Amino acid sequence: MSNPSHPPAVGVLDQGPELIFPPGFLWGAATAAYQIEGAATEGGRTPSIWDTFSHTEGRVVNGHTGDVACDHYHRMPDDVRLMADLGLKSYRFSVAWPRVQPGGSGPANAEGLDFYRRLVDELLTHGIEPWLTLYHWDLPQQLEDAGGWPARDTASRFADYAQLVADALGDRVTYWTTLNEPWCSAFLGYGSGAHAPGRSDGADAVRAGHHLMLGHGLAVQALRASRPRAQLGVTVNLYPVTPASDDPADADAARRIDGLANRFFLDPLLRGSYPADLVADLTEVTDFGHVRDGDLATIATPLDLVGVNYYSRHVVAAPAEGVEREPYWRAPSCWPGSEDVRFVTRGVPVTDMDWEIDAPGLVETLRRVHEEYTNLPLYVTENGSAFVDEVVDGKVDDIDRLAYFDAHLRAAHEAIAAGVPLHGYFAWSLMDNFEWAWGYTKRFGMVWIDYDTQLRIPKSSARWYAEVIRRNGLAGQ
């Protein structure tokens, strides 16, 4: 299906000294509810798994929680003005499920919905296209208590919630993402336990991944039926996976990790099947008995767009010789069945997350999705970097982050030139925020947040990005 509001990207690049993006390219920035809103107990909101997790000792660095975060819930109109000052064409935010449907089932909470209605109206007033993500990891705690994502019923609860949000906001929101990064929800949430709800069981992680995708498919069907003009998609976090050497054993390690990180989601969502080699790799973990007839067809319900979040590359090597693999049930891991694959660092520059900076990996990733999976419009729905920032004379000169954005936008441009129908780019993140298990110790924002005073300071990268948006491209090199 073609995208009505954005013309095809291919063949319209200005190849002059400047790197100009296609007309109508959607320039945006992204955030997520739990990371910025705060007001955790206000307006009828009930706890999510992240409230429980962050309030559990030892789970989040320094015991940080999202209770206050960037206080966006109370400062929303000012934050939208900030976005307008930057010239953002679109803002990608997520709806907090426990704010709009307390407990995760039953009727809508009018006060919760009203916050998002006001946000969307404020965006539209400023000419900023709202881009709504339904699930950015804040599962209502009551649904986790009933089994969480490993339980099939959670998928149906998600579709009901999607319908409820569509009923309230479908008249004013065109762009919808069902899930953000289901790999993290499934494999960090239920595999390694590094993320909420902090459970560690490989089989549960695989079931969670399946039910997240099932919930996505059911939600797409519900949204499509009630909002036929909406642009519907899903956001996956993808990594190129490279073997550390020419050794076939390293190539096999790369195949395994690529299966779990990328193909576990891309294949069901865009081809309607699980890859056979992945199923074989997981033999010890699960027999896939949780997959019922018709599930894969539901998961592969046609979409209008695909969102790609890109941060870095994985370089992997075969398990060390002579070291016996811990069975999956004894070694909490986000790579069930492949726990002993080694992740290798190459000594290239890294961000404050220790993630390798690898802009060519974005070209590789976008080309792969387009060339191997789909002709649908693609959007980079997140890309960005954490660095240690400093306020000097009231300014934050984040040249490393600026250089990261610059390199990745050049890569995005290269992908378009190679034929990828890339229609937009969202910087992660609009502002510094609660970086999950890292709390407030990692800063990804283009806008500095002083967590004591809630002062906002646009960093150099924000001013630079505003200029990129204004000229619809980058200065030549």
Catalog residues that contact ligand IFM under the rule CB under 6 A: 32, 35, 181, 309, 382, 428, 435, 444
**Shortest spacing between CB 181 and ligand IFM, in angstroms:** 5
DSSP-assigned letters across all residues of 215-283 = HHHHHHHHHHHH-TT-EEEEEEE---EEESSS-HHHHHHHHHHHIIIIIHHHHHHHHSS--HHHHHHTT
Q: Which is nearer to ligand IFM, 133 or 141 (CB)?
A: 133
Q: How far apart are CA 380 and CA 123, in angstroms?
A: 20
Point out the residue whose Cβ comes nearest to ligand IFM.
32
Q: Are 318 and 342 in contact (CB under 8 A)?
A: yes
CA angle 444, 176, 416 (to 5 degrees): 65
**Shortest spacing between CB 355 and ligand IFM, in angstroms:** 9
The SS3 call for residue 470 is helix
Q: How far apart are CA 39 and CA 74, in angstroms?
A: 8
Residue 466 phi/psi, 5° resolution? Answer: -60, -40
Query: Residue 133 has what DSSP assignment?
Result: E
Q: How far apart are CA 406 and CA 359, in angstroms?
A: 9
**Shortest spacing between CB 180 and ligand IFM, in angstroms:** 6
Residue 74: Cβ within 10 Å count:
15
**Shortest spacing between CB 311 and ligand IFM, in angstroms:** 6
CA angle 378, 384, 385 (to 5 degrees): 155
Q: Which is nearer to ligand IFM, 335 or 436 (CB)?
A: 436
Q: How far apart are CA 199 and CA 335, in angstroms?
A: 14
**Shortest spacing between CB 17 and ligand IFM, in angstroms:** 33
Residues acting as catalytic residues? 181, 382
**Shortest spacing between CB 165 and ligand IFM, in angstroms:** 19
Q: Which is nearer to ligand IFM, 233 or 473 (CB)?
A: 233
Q: Which is nearer to ligand IFM, 154 or 237 (CB)?
A: 237
Q: Which is nearer to ligand IFM, 195 or 423 (CB)?
A: 195
Q: Are 310 and 364 in contact (CB under 8 A)?
A: no
Q: Which is nearer to ligand IFM, 19 or 431 (CB)?
A: 431
Q: Which is nearer to ligand IFM, 235 or 298 (CB)?
A: 235
Dihedral sign, Cα of residue 283, residue 285, residue 287, residue 290: negative
Q: Are 296 and 211 in contact (CB under 8 A)?
A: no
Q: How far apart are CA 141 and CA 124, in angstroms?
A: 32
Q: How far apart are the first and last CA of the chain?
A: 36
**Shortest spacing between CB 93 and ligand IFM, in angstroms:** 12
